[in-house]
Structures are given as C-alpha cells and as structure tokens.
Structure 1
Amino acid sequence: MKRILLAAALGLAFAGTASAAALTYKIDPNHTDVVASWSHFGFSNPVAHFGKVDGSITYDPAKPAASKVEVTIPLDGLDSHVADFDEHLKSADFFDAAKYPTITFKSTKVEAAGAKKLKVTGDLTVHGVTKPAVLDVTVNKIGEQPMAKRAAAGFDATTTLKRSDFGIAKYVPNVSDEIKIRITTEAIVPKP
C-alpha cells in the first residue's frame, strides 16, 4: 500500500512539473487582434486593426525569464473598416507598405510583474526602424483549447508608442504622435 501511495505521489509531482514546463505556441491569427488607436484633431479616436498575425510564443509559467515572443504582422492585414483610409495608411505618408511590408516584434526580456502579469521587452521594427518597446501583458488562460484538443495560451497586452520614433510623423501633432496599442491573442501548441 505504501508503494502505491508513493508511486501516486511521485506521479502527481512529475505531472505538476510537466504541466509547468515551457511550451511553444503558434499564434492563431483567427483569434488574434492588434488594435491601434490615436487622436484625430482631438475630435475622435479612430482605430485600425492589424490581422494575419503570425508568430510564436514560448511561455514558462515557472520561469518567465525563459519565455520569448516572436511576431510578424503583415501590413496587408491592416483594416480600419474604411478602404480608402487603409490605402492612405499603407502609403508613403505613413507605413510605406510597398517598401516595408511587415511589422515585427522580437522579445529580449520577459519578467514577472505580479499575479498573471508579465512585462515583455523587445525590439519592435516598424517602417524599417527598430526601437525597444515594452508590453504590459495579462495571462488570460493556460490550458487545453477545447476545439483544438491541444495546449493553448491566451494573452492580452497593451503599450503606447510614438509613431515619430519610427519615422511616421505625418500630421503630428494634429493627428497624435502617441499611438495606443491593444493586443489580444490565442496561441496553440502545433500538431506534432
């Protein structure tokens, strides 16, 4: 009986260790949205959505510093819900998407920042310019995604950037230099 209890206890201990190990998740573009908002002459706060997000998230809840994020956002996924405005945003006045077709983020440091909170620092490249950016991240849920039947992770993140830091300064200050970014993402461990 003691052996059975010991075996069960060891099994539970190893199961707990295994579930806390780092996993690498592939970002699900169908359940990921990057939203930018800004002030337009102080009258309104328009938004643009960036879809078709691709990338991976390695997350280790036991050792957040071992975690990492790599994301590519193609500008052909930009959607403000106004086709003419989308084209203007992709023009040389702003993103110059013909010359710089993607935005990328690659983490350089991940730190715990409280219960279910992380601070993710990384290199953000927009318009051919790379600058450091810090994301304030909330861990929404880690577990099995019921439809995929695989391990999944969900995160929300926010940051504020100055577009002029990336060489996109058209109409500043009337159209705000500060851009607020909200991200929600769901990522799933790929099939073996």
Structure 2
Amino acid sequence: MKSLITTLGALFLAAPTLAEERTYIIDPGHTHIVFEVERFGYAATVGVFPDSSGEIVLDMDHPENSRVTASVNTPTVWTGLASRDQAVNGPGFLNTAQHPEIRFTSTAIELIDEDSARVTGDFTLLGVTQPVTFEVDLNRIGPDPSMGGREGAGFSMRASLNRSDFGNTTAAALIGDTVTIRIETLGHLTE
C-alpha cells in the first residue's frame, strides 16, 4: 500500500486540486461475499450474499485514517439449495424478516505492510453489534477498462466470527459456531 500511496502522492503534488481523501463506491456486480460454516462434521456449507452496498474512503496521505461502511441484503443469501436458503433465512438462523441487513462500519485500521492491513469495525448481525477484524489486501488501484477507464480500487478480505456472539446457537451440537467470511470487492471512484 505504501508504494501505491507514494505513487498517488506524487500525482497529488502534480495536481494540487485533488483531495487527499478518495471515495470508492462498492460495486455490487463485482463484489462477492462468501461465508462458510461446518455442517454435521461432514463438510462445510458455503453460501453467498450477492447484494451488498457501501463505500471505501481512502486517505492517501494517512491510510490508517481510511474507513469503510458496508451493508448486505440478507434475504438474498444463496447456498445452492432452495430448502436450505429458506432455513437460513428463517428465524433459527438469519431471521431476515426481522433483520434484513448485516452492517459493518470500520473503527480502526492497522497497517501491516505496503499492501495489507487489519480493519476492525462494528459488525451488526441479528441486531447485535460486536467488533470483527478483517485481514485486507489491496489488490490494485487504477483505471478499470470495464468502466471506461473510471478509477477502481480492488480488495480481498477475510475474517471469522462466532455466530453465538450474535445470539445464534441454533443446532449448536450439529452446526459449527465459527463462520468464516471471504470478500472480493471492487469500488469505483465517485465522480
């Protein structure tokens, strides 16, 4: 990240009208949120949330002051089996009728190296908010050819959480407590 920041910093010196913060709107068509949880000890069940939104604000001079807000439309969950999707949406798991959204708002960023950071924030699931830390890799900042050259920023993120921390203990003896999350996301610079 530092090398990218240095390059972008040079651009700022050449074009002083640019702001030090850049806001990227998360592109739901190029964002994949995948979760995994152990089921009955045989194999993990994998699911996808295809509908998300949010923004990533990068502070080019002080990346530790960057921030992210994001939300997921939980009723769109897909696990590859309609009956399982119905169960996951039901009151025993995501209870999407009562809680149609998962939210994340960053509260702290710890830089690891030039292209990675730990991003901690308030994660709200089932109406309960707990701190969750994502390991984040900055993949690339640059013109996106699929968007006519509009600047994009791509990230890979990983985290794990215990569903019991959010009040969900349904079938605790059969279904794992740990949920792993992987996110691949692309944001585009606001115009």
Q: Which residue is equivalent to 1:8? A: none
1:126 matches 2:96: no
Distance change in 2, residues 1:20/1:145 (3 Å): farther
Equivalent pairs, count: 181
Q: 1:37-76 deviations in whole A, cap 9, x for unaligned?
A: 0111210111010111100001124312221000010112
| AA at the equivalent of 1:176 | G
Give the alignment's TM-score, normalised by structure 2: 0.88
| AA at the equivalent of 1:32 | T
Q: Which has the larger radius of gyration?
A: 1
Deviation (angstroms), 1:152:
0.8
1:139 matches 2:138: yes
RMSD in angstroms over aligned alpha carbons? 1.9
| AA at the equivalent of 2:62 | K
1:93 matches 2:109: no
Q: Which residue is equivalent to 2:49? A: 50
Within a 5 Å distance, the mapping from 1:74-113 to structure 2 comes to: 74-113=73-112
Deviation (angstroms), 1:92:
0.3
CA distance in 1, matches of 2:170, 2:127: 16
CA distance in 2, matches of 1:187, 1:12: 20
CA contact (8 A) 2:12 2:18 kept: no
Q: Which residue is equivalent to 1:155? A: 155
Q: Which residue is equivalent to 1:28? A: 27
Give the alignment's TM-score, normalised by structure 1: 0.88
Runs of 4+ in 1 over 2 A off after TM superposition: 15-22
Deviation (angstroms), 1:16:
7.7
Question: Unpaired runs of 5+ in structure 2?
Answer: 1-9
Identity percentage of aligned residues:
33
Deviation (angstroms), 1:115:
2.5
CA distance in 2, matches of 1:19, 1:81: 45
Name the one with the larger strand percent: 2
Question: Unpaired runs of 5+ in structure 1?
Answer: 1-10
